[in-house]
Amino acid sequence: MTVEEARDFVVFTTNRSGSEWVMSTLNSFEGVRTQGELFLDRPHSAEKQWDSDFAHTRYIESRPRGLPFRPFKVWSYLKELYAQPGKVGFKLMYKQLGAYPEILPYLMARRVKVVHLVRRNHLDVMLSYAVKARIGHAHLMEGQQAPDELRVELDTSSLVRKMAWLQRQQDMARSLLRLTGLSHLEAAYEDLVRDPSLYQRIGDFLSIETVEQAPRSALTRIRRGSHRDVIGNYDQVRSALANSEFAGLLE
C-alpha cells in the first residue's frame, strides 16, 4: 500500500446525521481536505455553504472524457479527487453507494479508510427532518441565528416505522463494512457533540495531528431546546413510542 492510498478516507453515513458538522470540523485540521456529498444527484447550490470556497466538482457535474462505461468514469473521478495534496475525504451516503455500487470496489482496491458516522437517537433524526422543512434550511453558518421559537409536529402514524428503517439502514451499513474488510471506525454524532475531544480518536484512525488543534466547525446548531420544548405534539409522540424499542429516546 502506497502513502497515497493510506491517506484516503470517506465518511459513510445517512441524512440528518450531523455529517455536515463533522465534515466541516475535520476540514479545520491542518493538512485535511474534506468534501460534502460528491455523488449527490444535483449540481452545487449557488447559496453560500461551508465549503463554497473549495468545493470539488460533483460527479454529476464532471465530464470524464474517453471513458465509455460509467464505472470507469467514477473510478477516474475518484482518482482525480484523491490526487489532491493532503488527507482527502468526502461524504458518501448509504443511498449514494446503492446508486453507484462501483464506488465500493474502488474503496476496497485503494484500501480507503471509512469513518462510519451514526446518529443513535433516531427520533432526533426525524426531528431534524421536520426542522429543516419548517425553516427551509438544512444548516446554519456560524453567526447565523436560528428562530427564537422553534416548534414542529411529527407524524405519529409513521414515526415508529421510519425510525425502525433508520435502524435497519445502520445495521446493514455495519454488515457491509464487516463483509468488505474495509478499515473502518464507527463514530456517533451524540458523542462528538458531548465531548469534542473524541475527535482525537478519529484523528488517530486517520493519522491526523489533532492534539494541539481544537475542533472547530463552520456551522452552528439549529435546535437547542429539549424535545418537550421543540415537539409541538409531544404527548402524541410519547404515546406513539411508548410500546416501541424507541421509547427511551424521548427526553
What single DSSP character describes residue 28? T
Q: Given the DSSP bridges, would you call strands 87-93 and 32-37 parallel, antiparallel or unpaired? A: parallel
65 Cβ partners below 8 Å, 6+ apart?
none
The pTM of the whole model exceeds 0.85: yes
**Which three cell numbers mark 119?**
446518529
Round to whole Å and give the CA distance between 100 and 39: 8
| 136-156 confidence digits (pLDDT tens) | 766 666 666 666 678 999 999
Number of folded domains in the chain? 1
| 21-79 confidence digits (pLDDT tens) | 999 999 989 889 999 999 999 888 877 777 778 899 999 998 766 677 899 999 999 99
Q: Whole-number mean pLDDT of the chain?
A: 89
- CB atoms under 10 Å from CB of 142, counted, come to 11
**Cross-strand bridge partners of residue 185:** 115
Among 3-7, 121-125, 243-247, where is mean pLDDT lowest? 3-7
Element (H, E) at 75: helix 70-82
Any idea what the CATH number is for the domain that residue 117 is in?
Answer: 3.40.50
The distance from CA 159 to its chain's CA centroid, rounded to whole angstroms, is 22
Domain that holds residue 89: 3-249
Q: What is the reported pLDDT for 217? A: 77
Considering only CA atoms, which of 118, 108, 44 is closest in space to residue 78?
Answer: 108
Residue given cell 460509467 in the structure block? 70
Asked if residues 219 and 50 have their Cβ atoms less than 8 Å apart, the reply is: yes
225 Cβ partners below 8 Å, 6+ apart?
150
Asked if residues 54 and 152 have their Cβ atoms less than 8 Å apart, the reply is: no
What single DSSP character describes residue 30? T
pLDDT of 131 higher than 60:
yes
Round to whole Å and give the CA distance between 154 and 216: 32
Asked if residues 52 and 213 have their Cβ atoms less than 8 Å apart, the reply is: no
Residue given cell 415537539 in the structure block? 231
pLDDT of 99 higher than 80:
yes
Give the sign of the dihedral formed by CA 49, CA 55, CA 60, CA 63: positive
pLDDT of 3 higher than 90:
no
